Amino acid sequence: MKKDFAILGIESTCDETSAALLVGGKKLLSNVIYSQIEEHKKYHGVVPELASRAHAAKIATVIHEALAGRDIDCVAFARGPGLPGGLMVGRVAAQTLANFKKVPILGINHLEGHLFACEFEDGEVKNPLSFPLVALVVSGGHTELWYVRNYGQYKVLGRTRDDAAGEAFDKVAKLLGLPYPGGPQVSAQALKGRRDAVDFPRPLLPGTWDFSFSGIKTAVSYYLRDHQDVSVPDVCASFEEAVCETLVKKTLLAARKYKVKHVAVGGGVAANTLLRQMMSAEGAKLGIDVRFVPRKMSSDNAAMIALAAYKRLQAAGEDALKKKWNININPNLKVKNWGK
């Protein structure tokens, strides 16, 4: 690839419409994000039909702004996992642009993007990940634990069996009458509460690397049903502690079991301050270096899709640009285990 190889990334899997321009796998010239939060707020969650309409309404403008008249060498879009309507909008936009510009097109796994977003700092790719590592990708739609041997070489260790961690934050916020998205709201309330006020369960599911967060959410709903004069900050602090402790324990256990010295955490929930503090402190005790995605890059954005595409092209070698990459959308796209 030439030194100033320019990739236009497109992200439309959930409730952010985004386009970004990454040059030379290093410099981020733009990362335009249109957030649909205002559209979904009154429903306390993402409404797929509204999301599709908003993506369709915004994608052309977002791409136009991200490109700003510049030339590109490749288009990459998130082909899954995500909501079908949004994925279709992303694919059509990406394919139209790629045909018009006569450049190759790649379909990228959104969750891979969340992992690679860890390498950004101040609009540049500055901090390469060290391998092997254990990755925790934790967002509103996903909670997954991977052993990562190198770029593109994954072994999925476990994933949530029910709610994603961010989804649990959002549902608990709704139970408490706090606005959507719930993560930052619950976290802000938690600062004023006692973490040991309520003993919510820590679902460790021994013997597997899977997670389960719907039980903690249900425990919160029973607690609210059975108690009067509830302290919202105390419930938030105790809930947050239970979720974070579960994530930290399982991730570091996996790191020890797989004998890795590095852990990387990406996705919207990676913005959580308690999770960052707990994981870093517990990791340090074990001599494990913990890397978090920068807060600004933790939620959905197209820069991470462009970077994941760059990594893939690099790993694929000389013929990468002649290859026909998979651009079919897949709402349930899974990260492929290496060797399979």
Nearer to ligand KG4, 9 or 181 (CB): 181
Residue listed under structure tokens 């820590």: 202
308-to-3, 55, 200, 298, 305 alpha-carbon distances in Å: 17, 22, 37, 14, 5
Q: Which of residues 296-335 bind ligand KG4 (CB under 6 A)?
A: 299-300
Stretch that binds ligand KG4, among 93-101, 126-134, 217-225, 262-270 (CB under 6 A): 262-270
Report if residue 233 touches ligand KG4, rule: CB under 6 A: no
Nearer to ligand KG4, 31 or 139 (CB): 139
Min dist. Cβ of residue 15 to ligand KG4 (A):
7
Q: Which of 272, 288, 292, 335 binds ligand KG4 (CB under 6 A)?
A: 272
Q: Which of residues 84-143 bind ligand KG4 (CB under 6 A)?
A: 139-141
- Integer Cα distance of 301 and 39 in angstroms: 18
CB-side exposure of 308: number of CA atoms within 13 Å?
28
Give me the long-range contacts of 53-56 (CB less than 8 A, separation at least 24): 54/15, 54/17, 55/12, 55/17, 55/85, 55/86, 55/89, 55/90, 56/89
Report if residue 31 touches ligand KG4, rule: CB under 6 A: no
Per rule CB under 6 A, count of chain residues that contact ligand KG4: 20
Q: Which of 24, 45, 132, 184 binds ligand KG4 (CB under 6 A)?
A: 184
* Residue at 115: amino acid letter: L
- Integer Cα distance of 10 and 301 in angstroms: 8
Beta strands 143-150 and 120-121: pairing type?
unpaired
Report if residue 212 touches Zn ion, rule: CB under 5 A: no
Beta strands 124-125 and 133-138: pairing type?
unpaired
Site pattern 8..27 for ligand KG4 (x: CB under 6 A):
------x-------------
Residues forming contacts to ligand KG4 in the complex (CB under 6 A) are 14, 139-141, 166-167, 169-170, 181-184, 187, 267-269, 271-272, 299-300
| Residues of this chain that bind Zn ion (CB under 5 A) | 139, 300
